[in-house]
A = this chain, B = another copy of it.
Amino acid sequence: MNDTVHQLRCIGCSRVVAQAEVRSDFRCADCGELFEVEYPGWSSAPASQAGGLTGANGHNGSSQAAVLPAVSHSGPRAWMPNASALRWLWKERRHSAQSIDQSGVWRFRELLPILEKPNDAVTLREGNTPLYGMPRCAEAAGMERLMAKHQGMNPTGSFKDTGMTAALSVARERGFDWVACASTGNTSAAMAAYAARAGMRSLVLIPEGKIGWGKLSQAMDYGALTCQLRTDFDGCVQVLAEIVQRYPIYLLNSVNPYRLEGQKTPALEIAEELEWNVPDHLIVPGGNLANCSALGKGFQEMKHLGLTTAVPRISVIQAVGANPLYSMIASGARELTPVHADTRATAIRIGNPASWRKALRVIEQTGGYCEQVTEAEIAIAKAEIGREGIGCEPASAVTLAGLKKLVADGRVMPAENVVLLLTGHALKDSEYTIDFHRGSLLGAEEGRGFEASMAVMRSTMPVLDASADAVLRELEAGVRS
């Protein structure tokens, strides 16, 4: 680990600790809040210095270190990176046959110098995900155009891979054999995959009986030890906190600040794809809220370094049934009150999000919004995204549903450049898709007022005689519809 380059700062009391001193539960010993990674050489310099182009410092001759300075503890931060050189370097790595260059996370490793030996990073070639144009969804939302950054195209099918390659590589560099999380979904899949890739072991804690078998199949495939505990989810988190203090096992829950360093890289990819412009607005699903926090950090660091000249608004959309951040902001409170979470968008079914302070800060600093959407609105939005030829898991679809609301009341203008952040692949939750198209997803009360909108999005599956005539009649009915 690289103490000379990065340190951890508590987001509650601003206490700074060297990485080796952080508690194994990644909570501040003073105030109990979370840490974030900062790079004294550049990340905490005043924003007014952004855009400096003082050039490469040439230290140590390695191609990856030539454009960002080592930290200087002895005086003012005189060095700023050469933004053009960074852009060039990251682009050239697209030609490389090295696995870390082929990773959409480690290709940008100058902005996440958290490893002593980045060449040893544990990677599955995550990142480099597509930024799709979404013409039909744009129309549905009343926008002139719309883009979607699809993090579900990562190796295990969710955005968690970008964070996991970062944090698990830290775990391996620190010599751990075991990693752990409490999760029934995308986090456990990503953790187990990267642990297997590294030749490490992984432990998943879940509440007894609360098993989504589909969601856990990946963790099993990758060889995780999954323990069902006779308690609820919070109980699992508590047991895990004790375990990591008693046994050398590295915690990979979302409190781990290194995960966010990987999860900020989609911001870099978006900016690079737009030739170092940024969109006006980025819309992300709101579950544990680490993703919003990470992307905000990515955009803010890029601007600070002079790679871009602006930061997009970053908005968070929650499901009505799992809306603690929305409720807090709507009520004017400054502390989050956990809720009992209930939504079919399982990836954001989180009532007590660990990263709410970080996310709130990003929303406020960027001028974003927090909105909530119903189950019916989510279902329709997911079907609309599907009709673009792009599948996503239900949680991803809150972004389009939320955008519609922001456009409808004028918070987003039709001419703005908006990017939706899709977090998971459609195959992560096939049953949801099937239930929607068979008409069995929502109860009558949940669907009230949306019956016609849902009916028109449903793909039918008629049973016919085995004749071309029968099929052609259906087809022609389809043409007319």
Contacts and interface: CB of A to CB of B under 8 A. Distances in A.
A230 B466 contact: yes
Given A194-B389, A218-B426, A218-B430, 8 more contacts: A91-B95, A128-B128, A214-B431, A218-B433, A221-B426, A222-B387, A229-B463, A427-B428
Given A130-B124, A228-B464, A426-B217, A196 B386 contact: yes
Query: By CB atoms of chain B within 10 A, which of A124, A217, A426, A464 has the most?
Result: A217
A474 B225 contact: yes
A38 B387 CA distance: 34
A283 B220 CA distance: 26
A431 B217 CA distance: 8
A464 B230 contact: yes
A243 B461 contact: no
Contacts of A213: 430-431, 434
A146 to B, nearest CB: 15
B426 A208 contact: no
Contacts of A214: 430-431, 434
Interface stretch (A21-29, A234-242, A325-333, A408-416): A234-242
Interface of A: 91, 94-95, 97, 102, 124-125, 128, 130, 132, 136, 153, 155-157, 177-178, 192-199, 201, 203, 205, 208, 213-214, 216-231, 235-236, 239, 242-243, 246-247, 249, 273, 275, 382-383, 386-391, 425-428, 430-431, 433-434, 437, 459-468, 470-472, 474-475, 478-479
Nearest to A123: B130
29 contacts: A94-B94, A102-B130, A128-B128, A153-B155, A157-B427, A197-B388, A203-B475, A213-B434, A217-B430, A218-B426, A220-B461, A221-B426, A221-B433, A221-B459, A224-B459, A225-B459, A225-B478, A227-B461, A227-B470, A228-B462, A228-B463, A229-B471, A230-B463, A239-B468, A242-B468, A243-B472, A247-B475, A425-B427, A427-B427
Contact of A389 (B128, B196, B231): B196
B218 A427 contact: yes
A157 B427 CA distance: 8
Q: How many copies does the complex hold?
A: 2
Contacts of A474: 225, 227
A389 B468 contact: no
Contact of A94 (B95, B230, B386, B437): B95
A103 to B, nearest CB: 10
A95 B90 CA distance: 10
B471 A220 contact: no
A132 B102 CA distance: 11
B425 A229 contact: no
Contacts of A236: 466
A409 to B, nearest CB: 29
Nearest to A124: B389
A223 B459 contact: yes
B217 A434 contact: yes
Nearest to A125: B130
B226 A459 contact: yes
Given A388-B197, A433-B221, A243 B468 contact: yes
A386 to B, nearest CB: 4
A97 B471 contact: no
A431 B213 CA distance: 8
Given A229-B471, A242-B468, A462-B227, A221 B155 contact: no
A201 B192 CA distance: 39
A94 B101 CA distance: 13
Contacts of A249: 475
A196 B464 contact: no
Contact of A227 (B193, B222, B226, B464): B464
Nearest to A246: B468
A226 B478 CA distance: 11
Nearest to A382: B221
A111 to B, nearest CB: 20
Contacts of A195: 389
B472 A246 contact: yes
